[in-house]
Every structure is written in C-alpha cells, then in structure tokens.
Structure 1
Amino acid sequence: MSHISGQGQHRSMSSNGNHIALIVAFVVALAVALGLGVWFAAMHNDSTDVSRPGTSTVADTSLDKSGSVPQPVAEHHGNSPDCPDTDCIAMLVNGDLLFHESLWNGFRGANTSATDGTAFNFDPLFEPMKQYIQASDIAVCNFETPVAQRGGPYSAYPIFNIPPEVADAARNVGYNACTHATNHSWDQGSDGIARLWDTLEADGIAQTGSYKTEEDSLKPLVIDSPTGGGKLGLVAGTVSINGMTADHDWQIDRLREQGDPHHDSDIQRAVDKANKAREQGADVVAIALHSVQEYIDYADSWQVSEAHELADTGAFDVIYGAGCHCAQPIEQYNGTWIIYGLGNAVTENAITPETMVNNQGVTARVQFAGKKGVKESWRVNRIDWLPTANQHQGNYQWCPISSDHPIGTCWTEVKDAQVRQRISDVIYAMGADQNVVKEWNITQEQAQQTAQ
C-alpha cells in the first residue's frame, strides 16, 4: 500500500511540477511580449511628432530621454528692426529736458499750486516721441535741472526749479531711466537733488548722476532690458556745476577737465562704476557726458579729450553727450562709438541767429548685439539718428524732422529740409560709417517689419 501510495505521491508531485513549469514559461513569454510591445510603442513614438496638438502619447518612464535632448536657445531680438546675433538691446537717448517758464506755462493746469500732479500736464509735449520709444528697448532721458516740490515755487534760468510733473510725463511717454549729472545739478543744493531723486523714484524711473546718499553714489545703475535681451549699465558725469561747490564730492558724478586735480580720480570713478556694473551682470555699459560750451556744431576740446580717454579704458561700449544745446558729430574712436551732442529734447525757443541750434536736437537709437551673459560677444551694430525740432506747427511739442513726416512738417517744408540737411552734415563730419550710422525713418521701418 505504501509503495502504491508512494508512486501516487510521486506522480502528483511530478504533475504539479509540470504545471509550475508551464506557468513560469507562460509568465516569461508574457513578460517578453509586453516588453516587445513597450519597445515597439517607444520606437513608434520616437519617430512621430509628439508635440502636435491632439496627438496621444503613452508615458514611458523607463525610456525617459528628456534629459539628453538639447533645449532650444532662447533669443531676444528686442524691438528694433533687426538683430544680427542671439540677443540685442536697443537704447534710445536724446538731449536735455530744458524747461524755461515760457515752456512750462503752455502746459499749466487750472491751479499751478496743486500738489496732486495736476498743476501741469506735459504729456502732449512728449506724445509724438512714444512710437520711437516703443521701437526701442530702453529709453533714457537727461534731466538738465532739479525739480520743485509739488505746487512750487518754480524758477527758471539761471537757478532752475522746474515743475515736477515733467517727470510724470517722462514716465508716461515710456522713459525707463534718466541721468542727471549736469551743470545745473546743484542749483537747489542737496534739497534739489533729493527732490529729483524722490520724484523719479516715485514715477518708477531708474536714475543715476546725482545722489541723496553716499551709498547710492557708489551703486552702478544696471537696467534689465524689458524685452529680455540683456542688461545695460549706465554711468554719467558733468564737467561743471557752474562754479558752485557741492557739500560732498560724491553728490554729483563729475568728469572734470585735464589739469584739474580731480580729473584722474573722476575718470577712475567712472571706470570703477562701469566695472561694478559688469560684475552685477551688465552686458554693455554706456556713459553720458554733460558739457557746457554751447551752440557749436563740433566737439569741443574737453569733449574730445574726455571721450577719447574714457574710450581708451575699454570700459564703455558707447559714449554720448548733451549740455551744449546743439547737435554734434558721431565718431568711432579706438573701437568705441561716441555721440558728442544730442542737443535738446524739449526746450523753449531761442531767437537769435547764434542760438537757433538750441531749438533742434537728435534722438538716437543705439543697438547692441551679442549673447546674453557672454563677455566679449557684444558690439554696437547700428546707430539710428533722428533730427528733431522743439515745435510742431507753432506749438511746443517734440517733433521728428524726418523724410517720412510721421506727424507732418515741424516748421515748414523748406525750414525742415534745411535743418535736416544741416544736422546730417554735422553727424557725419567726423567720418562716421554710414553703414552703421543711419538716418531713422520709422515709417519705412514699420512697413518692413509688417512685410516680414
């Protein structure tokens, strides 16, 4: 009985073993089939465009290749019409905001003593500039003078204290930043500097040139391009404060002439600020120079010597100036572009033959091209210049004197043509390359962009 039982037990165990083997084989075969299915699906997905809307995909974490797929490089071409590199920053600059009483009275409100921002409305004065600012990335103004407290009192030449609503209009037209190291920076002393600083800050406008605190004076101004192209460092300096002396030398950025005991330290201070700006991520650095020899159509000896000395340091990508109330040449020196004089952006009328250039200006758009965050890749690849008038058909308003007449003639057809030709002759008087330095025709530019 036991033998038979033993055989029966052996058969039972053998049968169970066969069943287990069959089950194992089936499981292995199923696993292989599933593996082949997953492999086929993955291969199929790799060969199709899985990014199309409506395409169904199966997540396969075991074959996740996202880490090895290179991401496309983001490009920031900015608002200007072309960009020959990965990134571009187009900086718009123009001359002095120079307000006399006859200019600000044309924009007064019902109550010029109002402290709520309604004492004056200068928006119409700046309005035609808006389309040019919108065709740039960063727009920089130059405040020639300090501002009064809201409601006044106000004063004009020779000791200025202008309506603070000018800053409100600068914000409204689109300026991102302003410089204010000028010969009138100390007209109202420390209080005037503080009022201008606080007014621009309240309007959200970045600034440099004169300072409330020594700590502020040591900080470089670095501006992020709103279009993502990179960072612009901005430095400023004035040769004069009209014979006055600030309480502290740090309160106003200076660039005193050769022979002055402060000359070398002024240059070094500007270079140090440029270097600090680059340490803080600036891809390019511009410096604004403020001169005092007025109503000339050439660069004076201080402008040339100072600009060349700054260019020789290699710390600056572009140098530009104001203060002479006149349009002046553009020059490339030692690899650095220099715009010597931008004249006035807005001002009252001068009426004598010797001072008529006061009523004219230049708006320039400087385009820097390179690769964001990559040193030595940046250069100025174009400078667009636009001659401007301080009046439009007899009323005070910033007015482009352009061949395309975007808002019509400024004065008359004949006078506009004469002034435009005169400024053109001045711009190229120092040999600027016309392949880089070009007259700005915004209508043609907009048409080309639309066609693209």
Structure 2
Amino acid sequence: MKPKPQHGPRHTGRSTGNASVHGASTLPRLLGAAVIVLALFIVVGAALFFGIRNHNDAPSASNGTTTTKTAVTKKTAPKPVVTHHGNSPDCPDEDCIALFVNGDLLFHPHLWQHFQNNPSATDGTAFNFDPLFTNMKPYIQASDISVCEFETPIAPRGGPYTGYPVFAIPPEVVDAAKHVGYNACTHGTNHSWDQGAAGITRLWDELDKAGIKQTGSYKTEEDSMKPLVIDSPTGGGKLGLVTGTVSLNGEVADADWRVDRLREAGDPHHDSDIQRAVEKAKAARQQGADVVAMAIHSVQEYLTKADSWQISEAHELADTGAFDVIYGAGCHCAQPIEKYHNTWIVYGLGNAVTVTTTIPGHETNNQGISARIQFAGKRGKPGSWRVNRIDWAPTANMRQGQYQWCPIASDHPDGTCWDTATDAKQEQRIHDVIYSMGADSNVVREWRLSDEHQQGQGQQPVQ
C-alpha cells in the first residue's frame, strides 16, 4: 500500500546558517510591496494635488458654461460725483457758473418821466421801473449770477433829480434791479463822482438795503479794500468781481480809494491801478473765488470797434493771469468779443436800458448785448476752470414804441422790437461787430432762449 500524502509544511531538516530558506525568499517580496505602496502614495498625492487645482482654477462645464472662481475681497464703493451744473445749458465738467452781464443802466429825464407816479414821494412809489426790465427776467433766470452796471449815482428819495452831464437819477431804479433778479451791481464809472461822496453813499446804502452785492465805488476805505466774492446760488462755485474806470470826467475824488480806477498808460497812477486790480483778484481767490471777472469802464462813445485804451488795458490785465474773463461798458455801443491768449474779452456791452437818441451816428446808443458767460471746472480746485461758452443776445431799448428792454430775435414770442426789417438789420449789424475780432462761433453763440426752452436745457455728462 502507498503511504497517505502528508499535509502541512515540510521540514527538510537542512540548515543554511542564521536564515532559513523560507526567510530568504520573503525579503524581495517585502521590498516589492514597499515600492508599490510608495508608488501608490505618489499617484494618490498627485491626483489630490491636481484635483484641488482643477477644482479651484479650472473652468467647469457641468452646466455647459465656463465659470472662474476667484477670491472675494470687500472694497469700499467710490463716492458718487456730485455735480452743480446750475443753469448752464451744456456744462462739460462737475461744476459750472453761468454769469449774466449787460451794459449801462443809463437814465435820462426823458426816460424816467415815462415811469413816474408821484416824483416827490419818498416811500418808493415815486417811479415804477419794473415794466422797463420785465423782458429781461427770463434771461436772468436762465443764468446763475446776474450783474448790472450802474452808470450814475442816485438822488435822495423824492429828488431832486438831474440828468446829463451831472446825474442824480431816481433811486427806484435800485428797486427794479432787485425785482428783476440782479444779484450784484458794479458802479466804478466815469460818473461815479457826479454827486461826490454823498452820491456814492446813497447808492451804496440803497443797494445794500435791497440785498444787492456791489463794488466799484466806496463809502469807506475799508470797503474799498475788500474784494467782492459771490456764491453761485445754484452751488456751482464762487465768482470774484473787480472793476475799474479810466476816467472821472475830469473830476478828482476826495480820496483815491473812492472809485476803482484804470488810468491809461502814461498816467503816473497806471501801474498802481493795474496792481491794485490784480491784488483784489488774488484776495478774491484767497477767499474761495473759483473764477474772477474784471469789469472795465471806457469813455470813447458810439464805436463799433474797441478803442486803443480798451485793447491795451484789457491785454495788460489778461497778461497778469489774474482774470478769467474781462468785459466792458461805457462806450454805449456793442463791441467785439476777442480771445486774447487764453482770456476772453467782451469789449463793449452797450446799454441795457436808455433813452432813444436820434443824433446821426449815435444810433448804437439805442442797442446793446446781454451776455451769459459760462465757466466750467471743479469747485475749490484752482486751475480746473475755464470759459467754455459765451452766449450773447442783441437787444434794443424799445419794444414797439414803448421803452422796454427788448431782445432782438426773429423767433422771440413777444414779436419785434422796432419792426421786422429794422430788427433784422440791427441783429445782423451787431452780429458782424461781435465776430469782427475773430471770435470762435463754436464758443461765442447768439443766445436764443426759445431754443433752450425747447431742448429743456439738457446737461452733458461729466467728462
């Protein structure tokens, strides 16, 4: 019989020193397993590393779209820009000031007698000049700051009144200036000393009582040293205003500070007059004025071009860099607009209101222009401001036979000033004068208020 097979390990009984044959054969297998485990760790680690990167950085297509996930950090939202465009029709910056100016308020007896009620009354009812100014109100309301030019001093309430050559006009003109909406008035003119210190004091006190700011002639030396700075009621910024007249009609004031002067070159006071105007402009800026306007008053009358004093004086003032715009009155005539270097100059605004003259060659007395000068910039930031637009409206001193400020415009809803033919002739004449010194028609534009009303005075976005 064959023996039954043995189950279980077989022991040969042979020895190989310290290791058995079985122990020697397991070592390679252990090393191989370790290599495999290490390789698995490497593979798994790599998979985890790249999986995390793909999860954070790679696009996902789970819904058919690609998305990118980035770290979210909280940021403070920028403050919105607050703009003050005011009544400027197309303000190109954060802030704008629309300055309305026109020519002399020139009153003669034959003008004021048309508006008298009881000339001897002292309670403000002696005259009512409101109808004379009524057509001006929409233009003033389409501006921010409005400035008049008082050509002459005023009389006491109740008179006596005097006309040319030494004026003392009814003080009710101040009342009408307030009612129509003037914010300020200048009164540094060749007639400022017509009634001496008493005339200057009366005008100053009446304007002050009416709440109208002023500069040009002064009650006290302290007043004469203060620059006029006007806040725009629409928030656009602050306007400084400086004045000067070439003449006092041969008169000499009791003190040189009484009236702002701009005496012609060759006069021993010329340089000091220029310097005084510049110092006032600097003082206005120190008090916060964003822009400064200079009002000059000439004496050569009824011209269609700027005279030699106007040109030399305006250019010298512009060369100082102290003024953003220069405008003039006194010639009783509309005159050219010029850009000299970087300063705009409106040489002559003519008359705002006046009596009609029939003297040949003096018809320009019966006309004028009202201008809206638009400044654009950023409040409180010097160097950001500039004149970017000047609108001018030709005007007449009568409307259909009645004394009244009248805009000469073919589309004016109130109709003609004189008649269709005369209006068209004078509108064209003034147009030709305005542009005779090369004013850019893209900046200097005829002012058609009806067009602005139709357009709703829409504003341009901040650039």
Say whether the fold is shared (TM-score over 0.5).
yes
Deviation readout 1:94-133 (Å, 9 max, x if unpaired): 0000000010010001x21111110000000000000000
Q: 1:297 aligns with which of 280, 290, 304?
A: 304
Match status 1:341 vs 2:348: yes
Change (3 A) 1:375 1:451: closer
**Which moved further from structure 2: 397-406 or 313-322?**
397-406
1:413: Cα distance to partner? 0.2
Determine if the alignment matches structure 1 residue 165 to structure 2 residue 172: yes
Per-residue deviation at 1:69? 4.4
1:209 aligns with 2:216: yes
Corresponding residue number in structure 1 for 2:136: 129
Task: Measure the CA separation in 2 of the matches of 1:406 and 1:112.
Answer: 34
Residues 283, 378 of structure 1: 8 Å contact kept: yes
Q: Which amino acid aligns with 1:85?
A: D
Residue matched to 1:252? 259
Map 1:71-90; keep pairs closer than 5 Å: 71-90=79-98
**What is the letter of the counterpart of residue 157 of structure 1?**
Y
Q: Which amino acid aligns with 1:102?
A: H
Question: Is the counterpart of residue 420 in structure 1 residue 427 in structure 2?
Answer: yes
Structure 2 Cα separation of the partners of residues 296 and 451 of structure 1: 38
Select which of 399, 409, 426 maps to 1:402: 409
Task: Report SS of the residue matched to 1:384.
Answer: strand
Contact preservation (8 Å) 1:400, 1:406 = no
CA contact (8 A) 2:104 2:149 kept: yes
**Aligned match of 1:350 in 357, 367, 390?**
357
Preserved CA contact (<8 Å) 1:130 1:174: yes
Query: 2:394, 2:427 within 8 Å by CA — same for their partners in 1?
Result: yes
Deviation at 1:68, TM superposition (A): 4.5
| C-alpha contact 1:403 1:441 (8 A) present in aligned 2 | no
Say if 1:127 and 1:431 are closer, same or farther in 2 by CA, change over 3 A.
Answer: same
Kindly tell me the number of residue pairs found equivalent between the two proteins: 386
Residue by residue over 1:167-225, the C-alpha shift from the partner in whole angstroms, topping out at 9 and shown as x without a partner, is 10000000000000000000000000000000000000000000000000000000000
- 2:102 aligned with 1:94, yes or no? yes
Q: Distance in 2 between matches of 1:181 and 1:314?
A: 22
The Cα shift of 1:405 comes to 1.7
SS in structure 1 opposite 2:362?
helix
What is the CA–CA distance in structure 2 between the aligned matches of 1:80 and 1:449, rounded to whole Å? 11
User: Is contact 1:128-1:407 (8 Å) kept?
Assistant: no
Shift of 1:451: 7.5
Contact 1:176 1:205 in 2 (8 A): yes
- Deviation sequence 1:140-181 (CA, Å, 0-9, x none): 000000001111110000000000000100000000000000
SS in 2 for 1:331: strand
Query: Aligned letter for 1:170?
Result: A
Matches within 5 A, 1:243-392: 243-392=250-399
Say if 2:90 and 2:458, in contact at 8 Å, map to a contact too: no
Question: Please, which runs of 5 or more residues in structure 2 have no aligned partner?
Answer: 1-73
Match of 2:63 in 1: none
AA at the equivalent of 1:447: Q
- In structure 1, C-alpha distance between the alignment counterparts of 2:458 and 2:382, rounded to whole Å: 34
Per-residue displacement from partner, 1:369-394 (whole Å, max 9, x unpaired)?
Answer: 00000000000000000000000000
1:103 maps to which of 107, 111, 122? 111
Report the identity percentage: 73
Contact 2:89 2:458 in 1 (8 A): no
Partner of 2:25: none
